[in-house]
Amino acid sequence: MPALIEIGTEYAAPFAEATLVTLRLTAVSLVLAVVIGLVIALFKLSRNRVLNLIANAYIGVIRGLPLIVQLMFLYFGIVQIVRLSSFWAGSLALAVHAGAYVAEIFRGSIQSIDHGQTEAARSLGMSKAKTYRLIVLPQAFRRAIPPLGNQFIIGLKDSSLVAYLGVQELFGAALSAQAENFQPFETYLVAGMYYLVLVLIFSVLVNRLERGLSKGKREAAPA
Amino acid sequence: MSIVSVRGLHKRFGDLEVLKGVDLDIEQGEVVVIIGPSGSGKSTLLRCLNFLEYPDEGEVWLRGRQVDPAADDLDKVREHIGMVFQHFNLFPHMNVLHNVTVAPVNVKGMERKDANAIARDLLDKVGLADKEKEFPSRLSGGQKQRVAIARALAMDPDIMMFDEATSALDPELVGEVLGVIQDLAEGGMTMVLVTHEMGFAREVADRVIMMDDGYIIEEAAPAELFEHPAEERTQRFLSQVF
């Protein structure tokens, strides 16, 4: 126990800095993942066979490979073509990975919107694009929040693997620290507590958001 | 000139032929009620008029112009045809006022101020002036359907179509919706209604059309059709309903 406190205080500064890197990494990758996920979900729902094929191939490959393999593959692959910092290479790889899962979340939530909504919008003269933008997507986003929150928590934890690209995020900082102090058990325990606190804070935020949106009771009651 | 004309309309869903050659003309200011057993093709006929379903064969003419679904902008066509659905299909993420204004603003490009004024006027007409800030989930079925009527009217359509607009309502709420439809009829709106409310059909219709098995089998003024149906199938249907 004293060793834990000692490590906690000794590495407070580098761990705090590393926490910020973890948060930046997570934020950047998840924002990109939402964009990728929305595009792939729309591809998958499109009537265009080629777009369907692209979406299915993307989701199939990404879901079928371990994240660490994708990270290494993308890192060494991308870095050969363009010069990227390991932070950005890691962010991109995490985004490409989470994007596949976010795509399936969006596809499900879009499909869950009653077809009567689309018919009503089209009957008023709205184009397909306007129907999506004004009627279907706003409702689908709302329904996607609980599973998206879940995916974001997974993304936060997955960002630890980017340490193997040399990024000094939380897990990377722990790797370095334990190599220095020869107390891996205590050091990883401290790092674990950092992750746990981050996830708990995030869960509370997602819950608040969910409650805030359902307070207006804006979702349609089942007919 | 008819507002809507249909010639030789056929519609198939897979192996099932739902419309087997329908001809119909609806004149300006006319109120046409379509009756018939379920599965007779009534709703499909309405949905073919605004191309929510694409007819497999036949012609649809609107205001003297034939609609070509391959070449025409169907969004423009639908702007002029108001539709009211059995399950209301209000937009649950928008309040009542926004439900009514979303199409005029985003389809017609109307200024929000003008759209709001029109919407408030229509909500007043359907007796919901005090509900403009409410969300649909807080309204009764009858209120929802009246908002849906106002929403369709806000596009200033040439014709209003009602697809079993009162079938999903609790019995005590049917009257308030029928009252609004009656007001519209008296105001000269061209309308086509699919309904099971025979008493109302008799009161409001200029012409009643009986459909069965994908065909129009009989049409006449309401008094005549309800009192002296010519076809045996119409007699049988009416005796089951009354």
pLDDT at A223: 39
Domain of A19, in residue numbers: 2-220
CA distance B36 to B20: 15
B54-71 mean pLDDT: 92
pLDDT > 70: percent of chain A: 95
pLDDT > 70: percent of chain B: 100
Among A124, A131, A145, the strongest candidate for a mutation testing the B interface, having the largest count of B CBs within 10 A, is A124
Q: Chain B residues within 8 A (CB-CB) of chain A? A: 50, 52, 75-76, 78-79, 81-83, 85, 87, 89-93, 102-103, 106-108, 135-138, 148, 151-152, 155, 168
Which residue in the block uniquely carries the two structure tokens 């933008």?
Answer: A133
**Cα dist. B164→B34, B161, B218 in Å?**
10, 10, 20
pLDDT at A215: 55
Contact flag B87-A218 (C-beta cutoff 8 Å): no
pLDDT 10s digits, A37-88: 999 999 999 999 999 999 999 999 999 999 999 999 888 887 778 888 889 9
For residue A93, pLDDT beyond 60: yes
Contact A22, A192 (CB under 8 A): no
Name every chain A residue with its beta carbon within 8 A of the beta carbon of B151. 120, 124
Closest-approach residue (CA) in chain A for B50:
A123
Q: Specify the amino acid at residue A61.
A: V
pLDDT at A1: 65
Nearest C-alpha of chain B: how many angstroms from A173?
45
Contact flag A117-B82 (C-beta cutoff 8 Å): no
pLDDT 10s digits, A158-173: 999 999 988 899 899 8
**Cα dist. B176→A146, A170, B85, B114, B182 in Å?**
39, 64, 16, 27, 10
CA distance B39 to B19: 10
Classify strands B65-66 and B81-84 as parallel, antiparallel or unpaired. unpaired
For residue A214, pLDDT beyond 90: no
ipTM, two decimals: 0.93
pLDDT at A119: 97
Contact flag A220-B52 (C-beta cutoff 8 Å): no
Total domain count for chain A? 1
Contact B148, B90 (CB under 8 A): yes
Helix and strand element counts for chain B (H, E): 9, 10
DSSP one-letter string for A206-218: HHHHHHHHHHTT-
pLDDT at B101: 97
pLDDT band, residue A221 (cuts 50/70/90):
very low
Of B76, B103, B136, which is closest to A220 when you measure between CB atoms? B136
pLDDT at A37: 97
For residue B153, pLDDT beyond 90: yes
Of A121, A130, A218, which is closest to B93 when you measure between CB atoms? A218
A179-199 mean pLDDT: 91
pLDDT at B83: 97
Closest-approach residue (CA) in chain A for B133:
A216
pLDDT band, residue A179 (cuts 50/70/90):
confident
B43-49 mean pLDDT: 95
CA distance B182 to A113: 33
List, in sequence order, every beta strand (DSSP E) within chain B.
2-13, 16-27, 31-35, 57-62, 65-66, 81-84, 159-163, 191-194, 207-212, 215-220
Q: Domain of A100: which CATH number? A: 1.10.3720.10
For residue A222, pLDDT beyond 70: no
CA distance A45 to B4: 34
